[in-house]
Chains A and B, each alone.
Chain A
Amino acid sequence: MRAGIIWSIFKKEVLDLVRDKRSIIGVVLIPLIAMPLLMGGVSVFMASRMKKVTQETVNIGYLTAEEKAHMNAIFTEVDINWVLIKREDIEQFLKDKKLHFVAEFSTENLSEVYTFHYDKANTSSDLKFRKLRNALGDYENVLIKEILVEHGVPDNIWDTVMVKIENIASEEKMKSMFLAMILPYMLILITMSGASYPATDLSVGEKERGTLETLLAASILRKEIVIGKYLTTVLVALVSSASSLISISLTFRLLPSSSQFAAQISFQTMITAFFAILPVAMIFSALVFAIASFAKSMKEAQGYIGPLTMAVIFPAMVSIFPGFEADMSTVFIPIVNISLLLKNIILGDVRGYYLIITLLESFLLAGFFIIMAFRLFDRESVIFKGE
């Protein structure tokens, strides 16, 4: 193989792809905007939900002024709009969603009884009920404490069982957790889809457009063609994951610092993550290229790559679920190990052996798929199968 020839092929393919609007959109634009959109969506959704739960006025119906006065004193923290109604209208008001609850207060023997009528199927009522329940719980504690003190029980009886939590995770790390869960998954997926377009376009695409034959008749080796095109695919996959990495880190940086997700990725972490994604790019590019070389048409290739993407989504998702650790039990599983490695890079605790085994395995796998691509590209029936 001659480096000069491979370089010529690589340069031409890159130029060709740069001029292709579809590749620019798919490879750079979508990874750039996907994360801000997703995070923006999540933040807005969470914020609006929180607001609804915490700030919105609760509409409570009551039957007598005395009951209302008693309960109002307990629910001081809650913004309540009290509505006087008649007993026979309780159901109608709730059904029409004019009220979240109808509350009653009575006493039975020594107990204070609070009765809430509400529509449990109405989620907004359900969430608000928790607030009322908490307020009543606090009120109950105060009453019990008073009674105990009256009966001469020392008030440190409250401290019989104390639970202290010493969180050794820095606030930084806590905030990184969400990012560490979502970034490996996103990054692997984006790299995969980043590789798919050029790998199919440069192999079956070229076959379909009738230019492959001219390349095969040129004074070059088929291996040189494969390597030139493969390197282009890797580059594109890396550009795609870099766009996504930059956009993800910017998104998290720009979140208000009060947000529970606002994590800061240091420049060093980004570089490390980028190098960890390199093997992913290498494996996928080789795999997709081999598959696409086998296919008769772009359509057939996409038919293979679709299920392949699904097959990769699951192992990539281990970063999201708890219970998967970066240790000997996962280090040999492809994709899973990369996903967990990326997670630990974000969290700042990478184990040396894990990194080395993961990288080595990935390079071997990429090499295997490249050899497969060589073989497939060499088969005559594959090269002109479309006819």
Chain B
Amino acid sequence: MLEVKDLWKRFKIPKKGIVEAVKGASFTVTPGRIFGLLGPNGAGKTTTLRTIATIFSPSKGDILYKGKSIFDDKLAHRKRLGFISGNTGVYDRLYPEEVAKYFGKLNLVEDHLIKSRFKEIVEMLNMGDILKSRCGKLSTGEKQKVSIARMLINDPEILILDEPTNGLDVISSRTIVNFIKESKGKGKTLVLSTHILSEAEYLCDDVGIMHKGEMLYSGDLKELRSSYKDIPLESVFFKLVGEET
């Protein structure tokens, strides 16, 4: 179980002053359930996810995994963590296998495990035919597959996906969505962000609705829908935001 407790994140920007990116967000991610962070641009989704990945440190609040603060031992936390975003790049001059291997090495995965896992991943994502090209030559969707392979090489328990289908066509999106569903079946702890509400409706069990750094709702998606008499999620979203502003 991953618990985000009263998370605040502010950035000091020279000359411009202070930006409050996240203002007291709290939510719980349960293994085997998909948690979706929803919100418009600048809501603070990416900042929240990066903090869960310990790329950022919280200004206030804490994040617990299995009851312990993830910031007590960041390296141990990152070892069981997979992070991907819609804009993550891959190393253009490396081959897909080299990318995966590199991150396996960095996460201290044993060589034989890197090998066997990579084989499994290639099969799962059906990426056999792109192995002979350098990543720079691949399409956006193919690159995203390489990113997933990179993320999975250390067999993470926690998957953090920041708009993972961003910029992908329907077919590539489907692959990613299927992969997320499959990971759910394996009991992974899954947090994703998106501003495509239909995707959220289809995928998520729990949602957190963010706006201007604040968490307007977090909890079961079905409960949220029924409390608003099952109007479309988009309308729910506007109602929530409207109440706020």
Residues of A within 8 A of B (CB): 5, 8-9, 12, 15-16, 19-20, 209-211, 213-221, 380-381, 383
Contact = CB atoms under 8 A, between A and B. Distances in A.
Interface of B: 11-14, 50, 53-57, 75-76, 78-79, 81, 83-85, 87-94, 98, 102-103, 105-108, 134, 147, 150, 154, 160
Given A8-B102, A218-B107, A209 B92 contact: yes
A217 B94 CA distance: 19
B75 A219 contact: yes
A8 B106 CA distance: 7
B85 A211 contact: no
Contacts of A380: 11, 56-57
A213 B85 contact: yes
Q: Which of B11, B90, B106 has the most CB of A within 10 A?
A: B106
Contacts of B150: 214
A5 B102 CA distance: 10
Given A15-B94, A218-B103, A210 B89 contact: yes
A235 to B, nearest CB: 17
Contacts of A210: 85, 87-89
A220 B106 contact: yes
Contacts of B83: 213-214, 217
A15 B93 CA distance: 9
A161 to B, nearest CB: 72
A5 B78 CA distance: 15
A215 B12 CA distance: 23
B55 A213 contact: yes
Contact of A213 (B88, B94, B154): B88
Contacts of B102: 8, 12
A20 B83 CA distance: 27
A343 B102 CA distance: 43
Contact of A219 (B50, B92, B106): B106
Contacts of A221: 75
8 residue pairs, one from A and one from B, having the closest CB atoms:
A210-B89, A217-B83, A219-B78, A219-B79, A19-B93, A209-B89, A8-B105, A211-B89
A252 to B, nearest CB: 36
A220 B75 contact: yes
A9 B106 contact: yes
Contacts of B106: 5, 8-9, 215, 218-220
Contacts of B79: 219
Nearest to A207: B89
Contacts of A216: 53, 55
